[in-house]
Structure 1
């Protein structure tokens, strides 16, 4: 047995029974009014923090969100007017310029004078923003142009960069947004559950919720904003977005609290720590208040629960594959998500495969931290994969250039030490606190190894003679069994990110990316089992290790990987690569996988509806009828 010490972590934590005390009565339920008042306090604090952060004595500093908040508050107006003009001389950023400019126009309207409006109007006439190539780009673009066109409702084609009248721009934008909402509530989101890309969706939907004058579009956007935040709330633990993600950057994979979602969690339901963030600022300035049920769902972790979701891949342009379905002349593949949420940890997964280009995280585990900033409270594994086939599946470039084009912006895409990736040679499945990965990598594939992330904040990382690797993450115990023994390497062993590649992608790398270890297993036929448990469920770390060693586990690699594992709760998980996994002898029923299914959310695929539930309260979103119904009834939990 070897005990590995990462970054000065040496002690073994032992679970202990709490001292016997008199029973403590449960806390009184927090009322809707109290939840709303606390949100308003945080909203004002957030705005004040933004204003205080403004460098009003520096005419070269400051982006449009800072202009917006100062215009809204009537502070630093000379600086704000100067920056507004500087940022409209030669605009860049396409939709990333459009939506904060709309925030300036709407939230800052009380302090915009005629000259300010003239500067803004000319920018919308002459600057031609790119519509983008991802789902979040299109939503931001159309929300922004809709609200801009409402600001000047009667302009003809000569008043706009694209040669369309205000009425034409509004009609096109409304049609796109309503269609996007319908597809999302029918088949699931394509760019799903991203801790960072929640930011543009919340931004666009909040702008429409607060300032759209069209009653139908405004109401649909507000309902969709609730839908988006519910999607986060059910996979939230202490303010961190857990589980499987369509898109995640290195810094958010290694230190989850850096994601935009964590800033939103502080503002919306008081978890984690205050961090400045653009989408949270838009919420704070909008005047919109979230329904109290969202906070109750996001913060109620008294009981562990299973939550399932149905999402989809991005539209596949080529190489759609045999599992593809057709959605209005677009090819996509369903994504089956499963999360186990406990007071101490959240383990969540998808079925694996090429579900998203570039930045996919097929599964992850996070453990609870009351103040997670600066802590890498996560554990995950992956096959680092890149290929021209993947690139051309989701992008319009040709096979000869697509990898290079991707790597120009996502610099670690073709790096062997990357920590986010989908793989066509991957199969994942999960039951409660156990997850299994199987891999059968074709000869000639660029990378033939698996990367497993061991955070610098794990304690007592132990390589056991049984082949299991044990560790402690906060209030959780982790057991990991690679099918093929590997070696330890530092994270970013190529030095790519530490060397500053990718600008923002690698910024402040030493703070979030240094000191971690990667367990690298080099074999094309491979796999692993991970078993997670709460430390409170065992008298000691040693007792947990003994229990895991005793679990029945059989696996083989030839002719293709196969595994049979009995989990700590007695569940038998069995799979062979390329075949449908079974749990206690029952094959996973992907055909009837719901859009949402858990104690807090229900939605059938194809329904265009969502039912939120918490104790006696339910909130039903009916997108077909553009109607929200709230009821109080006997608890069904």
Structure 2
């Protein structure tokens, strides 16, 4: 920790203190085994800070302490925390040796072995890196724990000669899983990082698992790859984040995160001091107990909330399932396994300014089976408030078995997004029909006005407009300004026609000289041509899922030659050579040689690097567009 910036160390300590808050609810005298995860998550920062050490060790030494498991995956999402505590504090390799008593440490080992013995299967470890069990967060949590537990225990006398229930040894498990994750990092760096892209909760689970690999893997090559991968992760988040609110398209957005502060990531705020907002210390298990800190190019990109310019970002990330690779009862390793297609991807597209970020996902309608298809989010977030946003979602006729699969189909040209309800059956249940697109308007927006068939919005230094192209719509309830998002003040426009397209436009107020009336007049003057299911607006021709959309008469390319393309991150698809730049700060990440990954901070600027600042132009009606 001594090499970390002093102001970051202060935030780390504040986060650790916040992480102990719920420990006050736990007492050894009346606790039960189900509380074990609470003792771990809140006891870990307490031990680091020197609090309640005797009582904590007493619990971890006792029969009440249990390493929990998941009947589907073995090591669960909770397993990441159990492994982290042992990795930090075990007396052999932990950087914080001595905080756990010898008996508590042995009890951890006993519990970790019990889960590994019953659930770690060598046949699964030998599968390809594009095979995935269940959702990505569970897969990475479970398999990273399998690797690290095998690493921790394989040379201990009590476990070295033991065999898992499938007959494999921990040494065999370790070598196979080490090779798996080494290749996993290479392939994902080349073809896109996360399936659960931008998810306010699920991607965070995956990142926590990768922190464990970065901090505890004994293989220096694997550790280096994990470190490089986290740099890329935070560079991607930074260029999509407006102050502390992540914009751009997302997968698996639910349980209220569509509306609340879930778009703000605790770890991001901790690392970068909640850029443009007031930092509020919260418990963050992985980041607050790690010596990881991003390089200057990423820090600069995250912290500069006003000087990044105006820019398009696009990324090809995984999702589509390989032909015949979907989940099925016939898989020998269980019905939750599926195989992703590494050559097909989801195009994550966005347009960012200092006042808003608007984004959507580009999909090939031929590929209905997509591991990232659940509860997608698209829309626009605004600088004016962390909760200020306009977002799209689909309301089904029946929520039973509804997982929001491929809810809408969209096309975007910079600051104009056109979408319509899709929600195909299958993969959605037939009971979901009819399903209607609806548009969410946050109560923290400044103004919402209806005029000439458009819904106009003011939010800080931005204007926006929404148009339901065909049919009518209903407000449920009517929009009303409020300082907070509450249970009863979420306003939606719900479309009457199932397949009507909707247009969303966003601009900085400065694009129209801060004249809201001029913006409204310019927008309403634009011709809208909609016939036979085809919408033509501005430079966009939108066919919905029936045919590829066009911009300026050219078919939208869902598989561009660059896997990452923005003023800050550039990488040719499947190359493994990633250039990151913000201003004059640079970083080069080279995953091309599996045995020698290279990270170069402060690499000389060449033409291979992106420009380091955005200079794109939005569409401004009644003005030169480009």
With the length of structure 1 as denominator, give the TM-score of the two structures: 0.77
Deviation at 1:193, TM superposition (A): 2.3
Pair 1:605-2:573 in alignment: yes
**Equivalent position to 1:203, from 193, 200, 208:** 208
Q: In the alignment, which of 410, 413, 421 is matched to residue 428 of structure 1?
A: 410
Please state if 1:359 is matched with 2:351. no
What does residue 629 of structure 1 align with?
600
In 2, distance between residues paired with 1:440 and 1:211?
44
2:517 corresponds, among 531, 538, 542, to 542
Measured against aligned partners, the alpha-carbon deviations of 1:278-303 in whole angstroms (never above 9, x if no partner) come to: 6x331221222221221111233421
* 2:273 counterpart residue number: 270
Select the residue among 312, 316, 320 that pairs with 1:310. 316
Is the partner of 1:304 in helix, strand or coil? strand
SS in 2 for 1:447: coil
Distance 1:461 1:555, change over 3 A: same
Displacement of 1:268 in angstroms is: 1.1
Matches within 5 A, 1:97-496: 97-109=78-90, 110-127=98-115, 133-154=134-155, 155-156=159-160, 158=162, 163-188=167-192, 189-255=194-260, 257-259=261-263, 262-271=265-274, 272-274=277-279, 280-300=284-304, 301-302=306-307, 303-313=309-319, 315=321, 330-331=340-341, 333-352=344-363, 354=368, 355-356=370-371, 359-369=374-384, 372=386, 376-384=387-395, 407=401, 413=402, 421-423=405-407, 426-439=408-421, 446-464=433-451, 466-483=452-469, 484-490=471-477
**Alpha-carbon offset, residue 348 of structure 1:** 0.8
* Per-residue Cα deviation, 1:174-215 (whole angstroms, up to 9, x for no partner): 132123223312322322222222322221221122222111
How many Å apart are 1:517 and its aligned residue? 1.3
Q: 1:65 aligns with which of 38, 41, 44?
A: 41
> SS where residue 134 of structure 2 aligns?
coil
Instruction: Note if contact 1:68-1:108 (Cα within 8 Å) is conserved in structure 2.
Output: no
Determine the structure 1 residue equivalent to 2:489: 515
Contact 2:395 2:438 in 1 (8 A): yes
Hey, what does 1:574 align to over in structure 2?
541
For the 8 Å contact 1:254–1:513, the answer to whether it is kept is: no
**Structure 1 CA distance, aligned partners of 2:40 and 2:165?**
20
**2:57 alignment counterpart:** 81
Q: Once structures 1 and 2 are overlaid, which stretch shifts more, 590-599 or 311-320? A: 311-320
1:161 CA displacement: 6.6
Root mean square deviation, CA, Å: 3.1
User: Which residue of 1 is the match for residue 127 of structure 2?
Assistant: none
The farther-off stretch of 281-290 and 266-275 is: 266-275
Residues 325 and 339 in structure 2, CA contact (< 8 A), matched pair in contact too: no
The answer on whether the counterparts of 1:448 and 1:522 sit within 8 Å (CA) in structure 2 is: no
- The 3-state SS of whatever aligns with 2:252 is coil
Give me the whole-angstrom Cα distance separating, in 2, the residues matched to 1:347 and 1:519: 19
Matched-pair contact (CA < 8 Å) for 2:474–2:495? yes
Length, aligned pairs only:
535
> 1:364, 1:312 → 2: CA distance?
21
SS of the residue corresponding to residue 265 of structure 2 reads helix
CA displacement, residues 220-253 of structure 1 (integer Å, 9 cap, x when unaligned): 1111111222221121111122111122123211
Alpha-carbon offset, residue 590 of structure 1: 2.6
Q: Supply the distance in 2 between the matched residues of 1:81 and 1:162 (Cα, whole angstroms).
A: 33
Between 49-58 and 149-158, the greater mean CA deviation after superposition: 49-58
Distance 1:421 1:473, change over 3 A: farther
Deviation, structure 1 residue 42: 1.5
Equivalent of 1:41 in 2, 5, 10: 10
- Judged with a 3 Å threshold, the aligned counterparts in structure 2 of structure 1 residues 576 and 89 are, in CA distance, closer, same or farther, namely closer
CA separation of 1:295 and 1:64: change in aligned 2, threshold 3 A = same
Distance 1:458 1:160, change over 3 A: same
Runs of 4+ in structure 1 off by over 6 angstroms are 440-445
- Residue aligning to 1:28: none
Considering Cα pairs closer than 8 Å and 6+ residues apart, tell me whether 1 or 2 has the greater RCO. 1
Deviation at 1:331, TM superposition (A): 3.9
Residue 339 of structure 1 deviates from its aligned partner by: 0.7
Q: Distance in 1 between matches of 2:169 and 2:528?
A: 66
Alignment partners' CA distance in 1, 2:107 and 2:474: 59
Report the Cα distance in structure 2 between the residues aligned to 1:429 and 1:160, rounded to whole angstroms. Answer: 50
**Which residue of structure 2 lines up, in the alignment, with residue 494 of structure 1?**
none
Q: CA deviation at 1:45?
A: 1.9
Q: 1:388-447 deviations in whole A, cap 9, x for unaligned?
A: xxxxxxxxxxxxxxx96xx4xxxxx36xxxxx6523xx4311112110114577897612
Determine if contact 1:369/1:377 at 8 Å carries over to the other structure: yes
* In structure 2, C-alpha distance between the alignment counterparts of 1:252 and 1:440, rounded to whole Å: 22
Unaligned runs of 5+ in 2: 91-97, 121-132, 327-337, 479-483, 613-626
Contact 1:69 1:108 in 2 (8 A): no
- Contact kept in structure 2, 1:477 and 1:535, CA below 8 Å: yes
Query: Are 1:533 and 2:507 matched, yes or no?
Result: yes
Tell me if the contact between 2:376 and 2:406 (Cα under 8 Å) persists in the aligned partners.
yes
Task: Give me the whole-angstrom Cα distance separating, in 2, the residues matched to 1:442 and 1:100.
Answer: 38
Partner deviation per Cα, 1:5-50 (whole Å, 9 max, x = no partner): xxxxxxxxxxxxxxxxxxxxxxxxxxxx999333222222212222
**Residue 113 of structure 1, CA deviation:** 1.3
CA distance in 2, matches of 1:360, 1:318: 23
Query: For residues 173 and 438 of structure 1, what CA distance do their matches in structure 2 show?
Result: 43
Separation of aligned partners in 2, 1:477 and 1:77: 54
* Residue number among 517, 534, 542 corresponding to 1:562 in the alignment: 534
Q: Distance in 1 between matches of 2:314 and 2:187?
A: 19
- CA deviations on 1:449-504 (whole Å, 9 max, x unpaired) are 2111122223332222x21111223332221000221111249xxxxxxxxxxxxx
Kept after mapping to 1: 8 A contact 2:154/2:160:
no
Cα distance, 1:362 vs structure 2: 4.5
